[in-house]
Structure 1
Amino acid sequence: MATVNLISADEVCIHHQLETTFIHDLEHEGLIHISIVDKKTFIPADELPRLEKMIHLYRDLDINVPGIASIDHLLQQVDALHSELWALRNRLRLYEGE
């Protein structure tokens, strides 16, 4: 398997001074996806911005992994509601023009 779009979890942990268990805990909660290649853990590159937000919550705000999972769930709900609001506004504009 090619590791072109994968980032080593060890490198991320070293860069952010984290234990690798943090990455595995996030994966266990379903917050990130990891790939195992040749017995090494990798993170898809497109998940890195999301992972860095979670690291910020963990390190800077002292929020544990279950708390991060709750925050992530709430943010997903807010995004869904925001999308629904825009869709409803667009539909309303159709009727305002009549």
Structure 2
Amino acid sequence: MNERISIEEIIRLYKIDYSFLDQLIDSELLHPETENSVRYIIYEELPHLERFANWHYDLEVNLPGIEIIHKLLNQMEELRNENRKLLQNVTRFETWEEADL
């Protein structure tokens, strides 16, 4: 089982509004688990929650803005990964061509 923290504990520790956390869950930016009617967030999602809370409270970004920024950052990461793979393929091809000379 994944390590997790209850939503009530998150609200207490991070000092965020329950409604904000609920909006993140409703928009599927966070994916809670429920056990015995207690909702939990897995530890792996905490960096996302911290980032969303910083954008919202420190930069005053609203939920639609958070969704857009998150989507664009994910797309950038996917493009970086694709670029890395393409560069590895080019390097392999160049090495293969040099071996044939």
Equivalent residue, structure 2, for 1:10:
8
- In the TM superposition, residue 52 of structure 1 has moved relative to its aligned partner by 0.9
TM-score under structure 2 normalisation?
0.85
Alignment of 1:40-51 (within 5 A): 40-51=38-49
Alignment of 1:83-94 (within 5 A): 83-94=81-92
- In the TM superposition, residue 87 of structure 1 has moved relative to its aligned partner by 0.5
Q: Aligned pairs, how many?
A: 96
For structure 1, which runs of at least 5 residues remain unmatched after alignment? Answer: none
Code of the aligned partner of 1:52:
E
Cα-to-partner distance string for 1:48-88 (whole Å, 9 max, x where unaligned):
11111111111111111111111110011001100010011
Give the helix-richer structure, 1 or 2.
2
TM-score under structure 1 normalisation?
0.87
Larger Rg, first or second structure (1 or 2): 2
Alignment partners' CA distance in 2, 1:57 and 1:83: 25
Q: RMSD over aligned Cα, in angstroms? A: 1.6
Identity %: 29
Alignment partners' CA distance in 1, 2:89 and 2:63: 39
For structure 2, which runs of at least 5 residues remain unmatched after alignment? Answer: none
Code of the aligned partner of 1:21:
S
